[in-house]
Amino acid sequence: MRYVINNGLELGQIDILNSQENVEHFFSTRKGGFSLGVNKGLNLGFNQIDEPSHVQMNRMALCKALDIQSNQLIVPKQTHSANVEIIYPTTLEEFNSGLNTFDTTDALVTNIPNIFIAVLTADCVPVLLFDPVEKVIAAVHAGWKGTAQGIVQNTVRMMSSHFNTDPMNIITAIGPSISSENYEVGEEVKNQYAEKFEDHSHLVFARHPLYTDKYFLDLWKANRHQLESIGVRYKNIEISNVCTYTDAGRYFSARRDKGKTGRQLSGIMLKKK
């Protein structure tokens, strides 16, 4: 994970995508921006505890840092689902005219160049995917609910069925999110993952050196396992290993801040042909 400063804003990047031609990506931090209080900094998510005007100014600052217009930043209305939306030219027109806001959508896929597709997170896992052969991109919001429902697998299937993507060609970056050391979960979540992952459930639960009787979920490994199980190569997946919970100066964290906090954006764009 590396950080760059664009027009005064700090943005994170992951090497595996930096090494690819024809694609740009970013992982925002909370540094900079206009929000105050618990949202202080670059809050990019509209919520009930921040002024909409602050969020709008933050998004405009991000667009300036990315050197794009505001209509080139596409963010769905996320609901912790496993729903994936394909962006075609017609749906992009509908989005820009307000007719389609991608409701109940937690992953976007497109082959349209010159637009950033992005997802909001504040502990959940942002997953960015790129098929360099068919020139297809995807942005995924993979929280514990979406991961339990296999949202990254759904996304890869959509890339394959709609754009002829071979999973073996997909390059994947797993961005800043909560680490297993800080993600204790209850019996309900543990049981869902034990059922979903069956013989591989040991891969997604981390052992804590102090709390041996508790369950700590590893969403990074869970999403890596799901990607590999559908054909994405191990060498084509890079995890940032950056924990949003522990770095309060750089990231919002819903778990750390008890839900009253801002949101980061993570996005990916095909360069214009």
pLDDT at 100 over 90: no
pLDDT in tens, 7-25: 999 999 999 999 999 999 9
Q: Give the side-chain half-sphere CA count within 13 A for 199.
A: 0
**pLDDT number for residue 201:** 74
What residue segments make up the domains of the chain, in order of their start? 2-265
Parallel, antiparallel, or unpaired: how do β-strands 107-110 and 136-142 relate? antiparallel
Please state the φ and ψ torsions of residue 129, each to the nearest 5 degrees: -125, 145
- 99-113, 147-161, 202-216, 241-255: which range is least confident on average? 202-216
| Mean pLDDT value of segment 91-112 | 92
CATH code of the domain made up of 2-265 = 3.60.140.10
The 10 Å Cβ neighbour count of residue 251 is 28
Residue 119 and residue 44 in contact, taking contact as beta carbons nearer than 8 Å = no
Q: pLDDT per residue over 55-71, tens digit each?
A: 999 999 999 999 999 99
Tell me if residue 136 falls in helix, strand or coil. strand
- Find, among 175, 178, 174, 181, the residue nearest to 244 by Cα: 178
The whole-angstrom separation of Cα 98 and Cα 93 is 9
Q: Which two tokens stand for residue 239?
A: 């995890």
The pTM of the full predicted model, rounded to 2 decimals, is 0.96
